[in-house]
Amino acid sequence: MKKSEKKKNRLGKGVESLFSDDEVADEAVVKEEAKEGTTEDPTKGVDVAALKQAMAMVKAKKPVVSVWSPQIKTCLKYLILTQPAFKESVEAAGMLEKAMKKKYPEVWRRVQQALS
């Protein structure tokens, strides 16, 4: 067994999937395809190639966002325990969407247009 194979086995399947060679190859293809398109919308300041690349990356994988915050996770768990029908992912998505719209309105608008 090669040294790199031993290291992958020690990391476990979850972590191994984060660093799979297939994913790296897919991202390289997406980056190359994005370079071929328009690279910038000068009137809005949104990099169209980067937007296309981001959309292709999300399409290739599940659109999951993870954050490391014991405070946020504790608050969400508390709400799950104290409010029937509380949905952690719905609440977190709503908060992030509101923050993204406020901080990056033009990018948000372009993503909304592209996804509709």
The four Cα atoms 14, 18, 24, 25 give a dihedral, to 10 degrees, of 30
pLDDT of residue 21: 47
Percent of the chain with pLDDT over 90: 40
- Number of domains composing the chain: 2
- Tell me if 51 sits within 8 A of 110, measured CB to CB: yes
Least confident of 16-20, 45-49, 86-90: 16-20
- Find the mean pLDDT for residues 31-36: 52
Q: Do 55 and 112 fall within a single domain?
A: no
> What mean pLDDT do residues 64-84 have?
93
Report the share of the chain in percent with pLDDT over 70.
Answer: 62
Dihedral sign for Cα 2, 6, 8, 14, please.
Answer: positive
Provide the pLDDT for residue 1. Answer: 56
- Kindly report the number of other CB atoms within 10 A of residue 34's CB atom: 21
Residues 92 and 72 in one domain: yes
d(CA 99, CA 91): 12
The string of pLDDT tens digits covering residues 80-110 is 999 999 999 999 999 999 999 999 999 999 9
Comparing 26 with 112, the larger pLDDT belongs to 112
d(CA 109, CA 105): 6
Pick the more confident residue, 33 or 3. 3
Please name the amino acid found at residue 111: V
Are residue 46 and residue 17 in the same domain, yes or no? yes
Confidence of residue 39 (pLDDT cuts 50, 70, 90): very low
Q: 2 and 56 share a domain?
A: yes
Domain that holds residue 90: 65-116
